[in-house]
Structure 1
Amino acid sequence: MDYILKQQYYQKPDGQDFTGKMIATNKYMFAFAAPMAVVDVLMYSHPKGILSTIGCFAKWVGPAAGMATFFTAGTYFSTVIRGKDDKLNYAIGGVSAAAVFGKAIRNPAIGFQAAVAFAVAGMLKKISIEEGWTWFPTAEEVERKHVYGTLKTAKYDFTIMKDTPEKGWTTNPREA
Structure 2
Amino acid sequence: MGYSDAPDGEQCFQKMLICGKNAGLVGVIASTYDLLMVTKPQGYVPAIGCYIRGTIPLAAAGLTFATVSCMATNLRHKDDKFNYFLGGASAGGIIGVAKKSFRLGIPVAFLLGISAIIFKDSLDSKWELLPKIDHQMGTFDTIKNDYTRT
Greater relative CO, 1 or 2 (CA 8 Å, sep 6+) = 2
The count of residues paired between Structure 1 and Structure 2 equals 139
- The aligned counterpart of 2:131 is 137
CA contact (8 A) 1:41 1:56 kept: yes
Give a deviation string over 1:89-147, Cα, whole Å, max 9, x none: 1000011101111112222122111222111111111111111101111124xx59xxx
TM (norm. structure 2) is 0.83
CA RMSD of aligned residues (A): 2.0
Of 84-93 and 111-120, the range deviating more from structure 2: 111-120
Q: Does 1:55 find its partner at 2:32? A: no
- After TM superposition, give the deviation of residue 63 of structure 1 in Å: 1.0
Distance 1:139 1:106 in 2: 39
User: Which letter maps to 2:82?
Assistant: L
User: Which letter maps to 1:92?
Assistant: L
- The aligned counterpart of 2:80 is 86
Distance 1:114 1:37 in 2: 19
Pairing 1:1-176 to 2, within 5 Å after superposition: 7-140=1-134
TM (norm. structure 1) is 0.72
Greater helix proportion: 2
User: Which letter maps to 1:118?
Assistant: L
Larger radius of gyration: 1
Q: Which runs of 5+ in 2 are unaligned?
A: 140-150
Distance 2:114 2:37 in 1: 33
User: Which runs of 4 or more aligned residues in structure 1 lie more than 6 Å from their structure 2 counterparts after TM superposition?
Assistant: none
Taking only the aligned residue pairs, the percentage that are identical comes to 27
